[in-house]
Amino acid sequence: MSSKGQITIPKHVRAALGIEPGDALEFEVRGNEFVGRKKPQADSGIDWDGVYGVVDFGGRSTDEIMQELRPVRAWDDQ
């Protein structure tokens, strides 16, 4: 470990885990062990942090938008 707290992951470990520059990693402490792994990517593949605040919903509330998106069911009108 370097004086800045940085570690080097050996090439064979990076290759076995498919780790490439820019990949996110997560770490866990198990007793006296330090476990690191490649962080799984979100299923959607969408970077929501980059999208936040970009879409204009015309001042409609979340409930109004959800009502537009949901299908109308026969028992909803009863």
Task: With beta carbons less than 8 A apart as the criterion, state whether 46 and 32 touch.
Answer: no
Residuewise pLDDT in 10s, the chain (78 residues): 899 998 899 999 999 988 999 888 989 999 999 898 888 776 666 776 777 777 777 888 888 888 888 877 766 655
The pLDDT value recorded for residue 70 is: 83
The identity of residue 58, as a single letter, is G
Q: Which residue has the tokens 């198990």?
A: 30
Report pTM: 0.45
Q: Which helix (H) or strand (E) holds 53?
A: none
